[in-house]
Amino acid sequence: MPSAHALFADGVEPVGSRLRRPRLSLGASAAEIRRTQSIGLDGWLDEQFAMPRGQSHVDWMVGRGYNVGAFVNSRAEASHSIWRAFITRPDQLRQRMTYALSQIFVISASTITVPCPSIGAGHFMDVLETHAFGRFRDLLEAVTLSPAMGAYLSMRGSQKADLATGRQPDENYAREVMQRFTIGLTTLEPDGTPRLANGAPIETYGPADVSGLARALTGWDVVSGPGIDPATEARAITPMQPIAARHETGEKRFLGTVVPAGTGARETLSIALDTLVAHPNVGPFIGRPLIQRLVCSNPSPDYVRRVAAVFADNGARVRGDLKAVLRAILTDPEARWPDTRTAGAKLTEPVLRFTQWARAFGVTSPSGAWAIGDAAAQSATDYKALVCVFLLGGNDNGNTVVPYDDATHQAYATVRGGLALPRSASRTTTSSRPGRPAIPRVRPRAGADAWGTCSPRTTRPRPSPASAPAAHRCS
């Protein structure tokens, strides 16, 4: 069994030199690592699965007044709440799974047109949190009916066909729920490899299936009516409701399923989602990206097959038990002792590197806002992200990216105080030097030569841990 430290560490392990380090958490303090050493991996998993959820994103944002005044049209505060949860919440495994699911079930606050779009985006994260350890079927329905997803993939407002005007049901969500969320484009073997016919992949669905499923998903929109104030966050956080007059009541056919004429919108949706979840592709199709988000970038077919088998049956004849699937992913032999030459490597994502650092060194938010901005934004108010990311309380150094042009560097230096790196000690993102290559990907976002990378650590050494402050703060 790997050491407890392996539960929280990051990086890519050299071939054969160390045990694989599963990404079970968003980071840990020394005390948490010691505790996990005492209870072991299985004990830690049991503890995390039993841990209640913390404060929801919606409750936190409403509690801070983000549903009134100028915030009614804002789209920024959901990210603040997400950072708060990732850095402070004790239910780390739920947060880790939520983050993984959010990379599969994707939405954008920019498409939410009802009041309080930021709270709507936060509600979507709450949906993922709620079902992170539940049944995949329940998760899929909650995602399907969330106003955020309804707006993003345009199921909201899709109506039955009108021959007089030429209107047809919107096919966007019908296509994406198959292609991205459940069965994929090609028929899979239980180990996730494509099933072939005459040497060619077999398509899982065709245009008729898309059209039939689109007809089945008509008639849904955000809530309205008595008790619903359209000027509040209510329509952004309440599951969509069916409007009978907009639903296609004729017979629908898709994926070998026939929905009889006259079937209502709710029952039709239930039949559609049951059909999708029962498809044999779902286990390997969902299992593989979850492994990739949590453990390794290139899992072996055997690893995928073992996880897909648990998705199909958790041992109690329950299909799609995400808690069982998550345990299978994290306790699989390839998660503990992989062959890093083939499947074991995974580069830790920037979000996880940041949260691991933040949790290890006790980052706090004195204002309570957790307003960690976009590190590539050219606004002085967004330097909080850059200001936070420094090592052991020392100077901005190593791979930190800082503003380079005079005006924005001055704003950065004002916020950072005496710890700011002088402009003369950095290089533009087009420059390179030994150990510090150019960063071309920064330039399209910030503009040519608008940002610089900090000097090597040898220029301005880090202080020892003993001299570091007890807690770091941002925002």
Query: Coil, helix or strand for 85?
Result: helix
Record the pTM: 0.78
Residue 462 burial by CB count (10 A; 0-12/13-18/19+): exposed, middle or buried? Answer: middle
User: For all residues of the chain together, what is the average pLDDT?
Assistant: 80
Section 421-428 average pLDDT: 62
Please choose, from the candidates 317, 289, 297, 316, the residue with its C-alpha nearest in 3D space to the C-alpha of residue 307: 289
Query: Which of 127, 147, 132, 217 is CA-nearest to residue 176?
Result: 217
Phi, psi of 63, rounded to the nearest 5 degrees: -60, -25
What per-residue confidence (pLDDT) applies to 358?
Answer: 87
**Whose structure tokens read 């290559």?**
437
Sign of the alpha-carbon torsion through 230, 236, 239, 240: positive
Whether the per-residue pLDDT at 102 is higher than 90: the answer is yes
**Beta-strand (E) ranges in 110-235?**
196-197, 200-201, 220-221
CB proximity list for 129: less than 8 A, separation 6 or greater: 53, 56, 94, 95, 98
| CA gyration radius, the chain | 24
**pLDDT given for residue 366 in this prediction:** 85
Q: Tokens 């899979």, residue?
A: 188
310 pLDDT more than 60: yes
Q: What is the DSSP letter of 192?
A: S
pLDDT score for 349: 82
pLDDT-based confidence at residue 425 (cuts at 50, 70, 90): low
User: In angstroms, how far is the first alpha carbon of the chain from the final one?
Assistant: 39
pLDDT digit string, tens, across residues 460-472: 333 333 333 333 3
What is the rounded distance in angstroms from the CA atom of residue 183 to the CA atom of residue 285?
6
- The candidate with the shortest Cα–Cα distance to 149, out of 266, 236, 223, is 236
Q: CA nearest 86: which of 353, 318, 449, 342?
A: 353
Nearest to 242 by CA among 266, 224, 267: 266
Mean of the pLDDT values across residues 134-152? 98
* Residue 433 phi, psi dihedral angles, 5° rounding: -155, 170
Q: Say how many C-beta atoms besides its own lie within 10 A of residue 110's C-beta.
A: 11
The conformational region for residue 258 under phi > 0 = left, psi -120 to 50 = alpha, else beta, is: beta
Which among 24, 126, 133, 131 has a CA at the least distance from the CA of 85? 126
Identify the three-state secondary structure at position 27: coil
% of the chain at pLDDT higher than 90: 59
Q: 37-72, pLDDT tens digit by residue? A: 899 989 999 999 999 999 999 999 999 999 999 999
137 residue type, one letter: R
Average pLDDT over residues 401-427: 64
Distance (Å, whole) CA 111 – CA 147: 10
Nearest to 402 by CA among 371, 433, 434, 425: 425
Contact 320, 136 (CB under 8 A): yes
**Three-class SS of residue 223?**
coil
> CB neighbours (10 Å) of residue 250?
12
* 206-215 per-position pLDDT tens digit: 999 999 999 9
C-alpha 39/C-alpha 4 separation (Å) is 9
Residue 259 vs residue 411, higher pLDDT: 259
Interatomic CA distance for residues 117 and 141, integer angstroms: 21
Q: Residue 219 gets which letter from DSSP?
A: S
In this model, does residue 343 exceed pLDDT 60?
no
Interatomic CA distance for residues 250 and 247, integer angstroms: 9
Structure tokens at 226: 């008595």
Q: How many Cα atoms occupy the beta-carbon half-sphere of 336 within 13 Å? A: 13
Q: Are 365 and 434 in contact (CB under 8 A)?
A: no
Q: At which residue do the structure tokens 């503990």 appear?
A: 336
Whether residue 447 has pLDDT greater than 90: no
DSSP 1: -
Query: Nearest-CA neighbor of 400 among 354, 368, 363?
Result: 354
Tokens of 440: 């071309």
Give the residue-averaged pLDDT of 239-243: 98
The DSSP line for 416-440 is HGGGPPPGGG-EETT--BTTB---T
Q: What is the pLDDT of residue 112?
A: 95
